[in-house]
Amino acid sequence: MKKLEQMYEGKAKKVFKTDDPKLYIVDYKDDATAFNGEKKGSIADKGVVNNIMSDIIFQMLETKGIPTHFVEKLSDRETLVKAVTILPLEVIIRNVAAGSFSKRYGVEEGKALARTVLEFSYKNDDLGDPLINDDHILALELATEEQLATVRKYAYQVNEELKPFFLERGLKLIDFKIEFGLYDGSVILADEISPDTCRLWDVNTNEKMDKDRFRRDLGNVEETYQNVLQRVKK
């Protein structure tokens, strides 16, 4: 499959058309940003880690009955995916308080939550991805009621599959962000699942094993991404 014209360039990936209108090629970059692009940098071989890790996880989720955009790994940085139209929603699942949740509600990072929390942000860089609720999504026609119900169902299912998957690899899944797309009218999981989009803490030391090392200048960024990939490959 050959790359044709570039469709889209995001902060971490480029998406290309192919000669099949139903398929795109995703090409992962090493560029790293945080705080809506205010902090910029690069993490050596992050693109390789995120591509390979996402492919492994998407294939695992497919075996559990969750439809994803994954078609075929093409190279260390490239994957062939279904040509979805992304729903403009960042779907965040939280098992443990951290990040913007801790800040917003004044809860200590690491505090267990009495229930799983699902949050939506409106995927819009100009607006800084504002938090929105189901009513906002329907009022703004970002998704239909049926699509929204499917997104919620899959998001909780992904969490139930990812928690034991990471725990078996010595990682606690604190929170994560996923995105969905429409393909032939159906909602399927798209984008990526990687240390960029998950908070993962070492189960023994609580060490942060994710993009917070870059966001917060904690050091050992590259080594941490490689460490997570090695664990995921097990």
In the complex, the smallest distance separating the C-beta of residue 2 from ligand TMP, rounded to whole angstroms, is 30
Helices 145-167 and 46-63 pack at an angle, to 10 degrees, of 110
Residue 18: name the closest of 39, 7, 28, 3 by CA: 3
Helices 46-63 and 221-233 pack at an angle, to 10 degrees, of 30
Window of 21-29, 77-85, 145-153, 193-201 that interacts with ligand TMP by CB under 6 A: 193-201
Q: Does 177 bind ligand TMP (CB under 6 A)?
A: yes
Q: Does 214 bind ligand TMP (CB under 6 A)?
A: no
Q: Which tokens in the block code for residue 161?
A: 């599959």
Q: CB under 8 Å to 36, separation ≥6 — which residues?
A: 125, 128, 129
- Residue of the chain from 175, 180, 214, 227 that contacts ligand TMP (CB under 6 A): 175
In the complex, the smallest distance separating the C-beta of residue 176 from ligand TMP, rounded to whole angstroms, is 5
- Residue of the chain from 69, 77, 199, 213 that contacts ligand TMP (CB under 6 A): 199
- Residue of the chain from 58, 176, 183, 214 that contacts ligand TMP (CB under 6 A): 176
Residues 82-101 that bind ligand TMP (CB under 6 A): 92, 98-101
Residues 101-120 that bind ligand TMP (CB under 6 A): 101
- CA–CA separation, 56 vs 17, rounded Å? 23
- Residue of the chain from 188, 193, 198, 209 that contacts ligand TMP (CB under 6 A): 198
In the complex, the smallest distance separating the C-beta of residue 41 from ligand TMP, rounded to whole angstroms, is 15
Q: Decide if 117 contacts 177 (C-beta within 8 A).
A: no
Q: Does 208 bind ligand TMP (CB under 6 A)?
A: no
